[in-house]
Structure 1
Amino acid sequence: MRVAFFSTKSYDKESFKHYLPDHTHELTFFEPNLDSKTIALAAGFDTICSFVNDLLDEKILTKLSELGVKNIVLRCAGYNQVDLKKASELGLKICRVPAYSPEAVAEHALALLMTLSRKTHKAYNRVRDNNFSIDGLTGFNIHGKTAGIIGTGAIGKAFCKIMLGIGCKVLAYDIYENEELKSLGVTYLPREELFAQSEIISLHCPLTPETFHLINPKSLSKMKDEVVLINTSRGALIDTKAVIKALKKRKVGNLGIDVYEQEEDLFFQNLSEEILLDEQIARLMTFPNVLITGHQAFLTNEALAQIAKITLQNLDELAAGGELTNEVKWKSKE
């Protein structure tokens, strides 16, 4: 199959080229995101491979179909960026990577939490300036805290186990309760009760119409003062304006995010010589108790290897024309 890769970086090329000799596909890598300005690059390809911030709305999907594209393979687990209904109408096949390394993302959530709790990022910068003062670096123990985990799929499950290992009381909310986690001591609660009881809240659920702005003025009002929020899932789970207000009032004591609801124009790019036009993320970066990383939670050698392997497997299955293990289909609500 002739495949056009969008939003590719050096690490994508390295991981795919390592496993490509075992497959017969012809891969062409494009650095730009897929959008209305770059869609012409898809001409002549029967398949495109996209990432989290590539636009796959009704207009883009229609144009892709007109260009002769038949298949879309996602190098990610989430598919909220895809208009599945339109894809179904156009006969486009969609596949994803349902799980690549749950531990990679869960460990990054822990890294955000531990950095905020002990201010190691600030200590690192001080020491590099030969400043060995520890004034202002007082942190807090994670051990003994109550951690609330929203979503206990593969990543949320891994994070629950990490927090249990640290010595936290772990609460969880999910539509489907995990019996293994319950046997380990995780307590499932209604979401509102979890908000009210947790000192640390970490988001590990998909972005759906039901979870859009899950963290909003109403849910924030139910939380403890100085709550710690961690988000390594999808940016739009958090109402950024509401969280900024909560930070100013100290309702949110610490915020660690690897995702941001307007990240498509920012993340995965070097903007160090540019003026930052996004006022919300600029405001977030003024808070000393906010830690932001640029959607790197997935970025480990192990995860990249799995993404490449499963994506190439998806391409093999599409080429064979048989059953698709990781197909994503639109489901009517009727």
Structure 2
Amino acid sequence: MAGVDLRKTTTMKIAVFSTQPYDEAYLQQANDSFKHQLVFFEQPLSASTVALAAGFSTVCVFVNDRLDATVLAEISRTGTKLIALRAAGFNNVDLKAAEAYGITVVRVPAYSPYAVAEYTVGLLLALDRKICRAWVRVREDNFTLDGLVGHDLHGKVVGVVGTGRIGSLVAKAFKLGFGCTVLATDVYHDPKVEQMGVPYVELNDLIRRADVICLHCPLTSQTRHLINTDTIALAKPGFLLINTGRGALIDTEAVVNALKSGHVGGLAMDVYEEESDLFFKDLSNEVVKDDLFQHLLTFPNVIVTGHQAFFTQEALAAIAQTTLQNVTNFQEGNVDPAKLVKAVAVTVSCK
């Protein structure tokens, strides 16, 4: 296959991994106007499933597919020239290896930032106002209010780590919608965020001052375990932590210890650093062996959801459309630079 110019073919043959029924439905619908050859696999792409990708010019993957150097070497050997990510994040791809093997990587940098931003607000309200606990009580005909007291968000200090498309909307919602004092941190200072009256401060200053911390930055070597024992020690006792970014932004063991001591007053997260073994699967009839995750679920002041912040009709349609457009652009030799991912792009920027 080395001598075949894939960009001169009429359609691209795409292996779509980590497929759920909704992925197939939205991709098939979007493909009506592209006419690519889509083959769907429920399995995630990894070293143990890489043989399924043999002969496909494109592999289309999601957040928990593992494209390390071993996988990239094999898919390159069997003809893959393009990795199309159905997500904004790219921390699951060894970009240096992809470049070495001549594999192009494209992503969906913006599908519906409103979906994740709105979900972030919902998680905070559910956590602080104890909506989930109240719902369970009422279903058992228990209408007492003891233990359900929350706080006004108005006037509280909300720290937003990362003010890209999602983080800037979160900052806007809390600043203009709830009347919070909002602080931001990012290597890139968005003038539109500053115009809202949201100042940029150093990360440690934000952590010290915030009543609520929301994480919206990408996962890089610099941001891995951004929330850890040392940074938690800087924070106000009882602060609330919301993570709809990437699971490994949080050192889970450190947060569990801080929940036990009360230094973290509550945690709501839609991502988890070891989620690839858990999320998007029905494990209700199995024993989940991740003790740390199971421990998290025992806390009354913790809410965990299974990576669904992006999950709206609008977002799914946009992801499918952009993903297939990325493939077509590659086929035509006209990759959109805004969708292209290169090794040099891995920085601490939260944009």
Which residue of 191, 201, 204 corresponds with 2:216? 204
- 1:224-247 residue CA offsets vs partner (Å, 9 max, x unmatched): 000100000000000011001110
Shift in Å, 1:324: 3.4
Q: What TM-score do the two structures reach when normalised by structure 1?
A: 0.98
> Judging changes above 3 Å, is the alpha-carbon distance between structure 1 residues 265 and 25 closer, same or farther for their aligned structure 2 residues?
same
What is the rounded CA distance, in whole Å, between the counterparts of 1:323 and 1:14 in structure 2? Answer: 25
In the TM superposition, 1:28-107 aligns within 5 A as 28-107=39-118
Which residue of 16, 31, 34 corresponds with 1:20? 31
> Judging changes above 3 Å, is the alpha-carbon distance between structure 1 residues 68 and 251 closer, same or farther for their aligned structure 2 residues?
same
Asked whether the equivalents of residues 57 and 80 of structure 2 are also in contact (C-alpha less than 8 Å), the reply is: yes
In the TM superposition, 1:297-308 aligns within 5 A as 297-308=309-320
Which residue of 134, 139, 144 corresponds with 1:133? 144
Q: Which has the higher contact order (CA 8 A, sep 6+)?
A: 2
- 2:340 aligned partner: 327
**Structure 1 SS opposite 2:341:** coil
What is the rounded CA distance, in whole Å, between the counterparts of 2:112 and 2:258 in structure 1? Answer: 32
What is the rounded CA distance, in whole Å, between the counterparts of 1:305 and 1:147 in structure 2? Answer: 31
What is the rounded CA distance, in whole Å, between the counterparts of 1:304 and 1:332 in structure 2? Answer: 25
Q: Does 1:253 align with 2:265?
A: yes
Report the AA paired with residue 167 of structure 1: G
- 2:166 aligned partner: 155
Q: What TM-score do the two structures reach when normalised by structure 2?
A: 0.93
**Structure 2 SS opposite 1:147:** strand
- 1:165-196 residue CA offsets vs partner (Å, 9 max, x unmatched): 11100000010111111111101111111111
- 2:243 aligned partner: 231
Q: Does 1:312 align with 2:345?
A: no
Asked whether the equivalents of residues 162 and 184 of structure 2 are also in contact (C-alpha less than 8 Å), the reply is: yes
What is the rounded CA distance, in whole Å, between the counterparts of 1:307 and 1:318 in structure 2? Answer: 17
Asked whether the equivalents of residues 326 and 335 of structure 2 are also in contact (C-alpha less than 8 Å), the reply is: no
> Judging changes above 3 Å, is the alpha-carbon distance between structure 1 residues 38 and 230 closer, same or farther for their aligned structure 2 residues?
same
In the TM superposition, 1:1-12 aligns within 5 A as 1-12=12-23
Shift in Å, 1:39: 1.1
Report the AA paired with residue 139 of structure 1: G
What is the rounded CA distance, in whole Å, between the counterparts of 2:195 and 2:56 in structure 1? Answer: 49
What is the rounded CA distance, in whole Å, between the counterparts of 1:178 and 1:232 in structure 2? Answer: 20
What is the rounded CA distance, in whole Å, between the counterparts of 2:196 and 2:340 in structure 1? Answer: 32
- 1:182 aligned partner: 194
> Judging changes above 3 Å, is the alpha-carbon distance between structure 1 residues 118 and 332 closer, same or farther for their aligned structure 2 residues?
closer
What is the rounded CA distance, in whole Å, between the counterparts of 1:100 and 1:215 in structure 2? Answer: 27
What is the rounded CA distance, in whole Å, between the counterparts of 1:132 and 1:223 in structure 2? Answer: 34
- 2:5 aligned partner: none
RMSD over aligned CA atoms reads 1.1
What is the rounded CA distance, in whole Å, between the counterparts of 2:204 and 2:145 in structure 1? Answer: 38
What is the rounded CA distance, in whole Å, between the counterparts of 1:37 and 1:167 in structure 2? Answer: 50
What is the rounded CA distance, in whole Å, between the counterparts of 2:345 and 2:158 in structure 1? Answer: 36
What is the rounded CA distance, in whole Å, between the counterparts of 1:330 and 1:133 in structure 2? Answer: 55
**Structure 2 SS opposite 1:111:** helix
Report the AA paired with residue 257 of structure 1: M
Asked whether the equivalents of residues 214 and 239 of structure 1 are also in contact (C-alpha less than 8 Å), the reply is: yes
Number of equivalenced pairs: 333
Unaligned runs of 5+ in 2: 1-11, 347-351
> Judging changes above 3 Å, is the alpha-carbon distance between structure 1 residues 121 and 219 closer, same or farther for their aligned structure 2 residues?
same
**Structure 2 SS opposite 1:116:** helix
- 2:7 aligned partner: none
Report the AA paired with residue 136 of structure 1: G
Q: Does 1:292 align with 2:308?
A: no
